[in-house]
Every structure is written in structure tokens, then in C-alpha cells.
Amino acid sequence: MTSVTGSTDDSLTELLAAYISVWNERDPHARQTLGTEVFTPDAYYVDPNASAQGRPAIDAYVAGWQEQFPGCVFVLGEVSGHHEVARFGWSFGPPGGPPAGTGGDVVVIERGRLSRIYGFFD
Amino acid sequence: MTSVTGSTDDSLTELLAAYISVWNERDPHARQTLGTEVFTPDAYYVDPNASAQGRPAIDAYVAGWQEQFPGCVFVLGEVSGHHEVARFGWSFGPPGGPPAGTGGDVVVIERGRLSRIYGFFD
């Protein structure tokens, strides 16, 4: 298994940090711009609550989540990657406070961007 | 999130139990027969050590693992599923003994069979 300590994995950690930043970016234009760097055009996202195909649908889902949880942010947890896939933990809640929720996602990466995001809640 | 306690999820748990049985079935014919029930014909498998496309390649990889670890079996852990995806934990080691290893996989399901298996080691 590839660890995230080596320089090879810096780009993976950066990509996943950018993905988390999408969830935390509440300026629509900045969020959509970041989304073009993070997601392939036809990226597919699914979690227990919803699925979304393509950047605009994913962005709309993220925006809806942000409206629902105005005081919460996501924090990236442990990352591990191999081949073209990665899994990582995350938590969300008020900044600096105890997590209101945690989960783990598995993603598929195509040429440096996320093409599939399979989200799970703990 | 869909729990695995309801009747709706019995088929998911059965499918993942059958997937684990593939790893534990050391009779090649029985294992391949089970594989046709568990995997779509072009199923894709990837874990930190290898990737395999299609039932024959997956079966060859499982057979190689079995040769490498003659005294070990896999045990299915916690399962959760939603939409067409599921994640589950697993452990492996000598039957009845402490686990020699654990991991977690995310799978994509198409018409009751696994089309993608993304494996990770803890």
C-alpha cells in the first residue's frame, strides 16, 4: 500500500485537500472554479443521501449542504492511495469543535482529477 | 444511510458473504462457479498489490493469494450500503485465531453482482 508520507503522494493529498476545500468554499464562483480543478467534467458523486453526475450537479449538491449546515466545515482525515484509487476519512462540524459527523470516501482518480466519489457516513 | 438490519439489505449481505466465500473457496471449479454469481463478466478488482479485469483474472489473483496463505480465511466485517454501492470491513487469518490483517473495500453493484471492487488494507 502506498503511504502518504512520500513525495509521490503529495499530489494525492493535495487533490483530496482541494476536494475538501470545495465543500468548505461558500463563494459560488470560487467553489465552481475549484471544482473544475478537482472533478472531471462528468464526475459522479454518490453518498447515502444523494447522487450527482457532472460538475454542475455536484456543485448544486454541495451548495445545498452548505445552506443546511451554515456553521460547519469539513476536515480531511487519514488518506491512503494505490493505483488510481484512494480512500480517506473526514469529519465535519463547527470549526475547532468536536465533529458532528464522520465518514469515509473512496475515490477514483483520472489524470489528476476525481472521476468517481463514493461517500459513506460512519 | 441504509443499514444492514432490514430485509432490503439481506441481498447485499448475501452478495458480500458470497464474495468472501470466493476468497475462501479453494476448489477451483467451485470457486469459478461462485465467481460467475458474484462478479459481472468484466468486473474490475484493485487492491494495493494488484489489479485484475474480468472473472478469469480475478480468479487467478484469488488463487495466487490462496497459495500464498494456505492456512488463512477471510471473515466479513461490518457492511453498509446505499444506492448501488457498499462498503464493508474484512479480516483474514487462521480460522478462529486473531486476524493477521484487516481491510475495507468499496464495491459497485450492477444487477445483483459486483462490477467494481476497490480494496484497501488497514
**A102 contacts on B by Cβ (under 8 Å):** none
pLDDT score at A2: 43
Q: Per the CB < 8 Å rule, is A106 touching B87? A: yes
Q: How large is the average pLDDT for residues A28-48?
A: 98
Q: Are B100 and B94 in contact (CB under 8 A)?
A: yes
Q: How large is the average pLDDT for residues A26-49?
A: 98
Q: What are the pLDDT digits (tens) for B33-88?
A: 999 999 999 999 999 999 999 999 999 999 999 999 998 999 999 999 999 999 99
Q: Per the CB < 8 Å rule, is A120 touching B51? A: no
**A108 contacts on B by Cβ (under 8 Å):** 118
pLDDT score at A8: 52
The neighbouring-strand residues paired with A45 are A52, A117
User: Average pLDDT of chain A?
Assistant: 93
Q: Using H for helix, E for strand and C for coil, what is the string for B68-87? A: HCCCCEEEEEEEEEECCEEE
Distance from the Cα of A119 to chain B's closest Cα (Å) equals: 9
pLDDT score at A107: 98
> Which residue intervals of chain A are DSSP H helices?
10-24, 28-38, 55-68
Separation between Cα atoms, residue A42 and residue A108, nearest integer Å: 13
Number of A/B CB contacts below 8 angstroms equals 47
pTM of the shown model: 0.91
Residue A4 scores a pLDDT above 90: no
Q: Per the CB < 8 Å rule, is A118 touching B106? A: yes
Which residue among A51, A118, A121 sits closest to B1, beta carbon to beta carbon?
A121
Q: Per the CB < 8 Å rule, is B1 touching A120? A: yes
CA atoms within 13 A on the CB side of B95: 3
Residue A65 scores a pLDDT above 80: yes
Q: How large is the average pLDDT for residues B101-106?
A: 97
pLDDT score at B9: 80
**B106 contacts on A by Cβ (under 8 Å):** 87, 106, 118, 120
* The C-alpha cell that represents B113 in the structure block: 453482482
Domain boundaries, chain A: 7-121
Tell me the fold of B7-121.
Answer: Nuclear Transport Factor 2; Chain: A, (3.10.450)
> Given pLDDT bands bounded at 50, 70 and 90, which one contains residue A9?
confident
Residue A55 scores a pLDDT above 50: yes
Q: Respond yes or no on whether ipTM tops 0.85.
A: yes
* The C-alpha cell that represents A45 in the structure block: 458523486
Which residue among A82, A83, A118 sits closest to B85, beta carbon to beta carbon?
A118
pLDDT score at B5: 41
Interior angle at CA A98, CA A97 and CA A104, nearest 5: 120
Which residue among B46, B80, B104 sits closest to A85, beta carbon to beta carbon?
B46
Q: How large is the average pLDDT for residues A70-95?
A: 96
Nearest CA in chain A to B88: A120
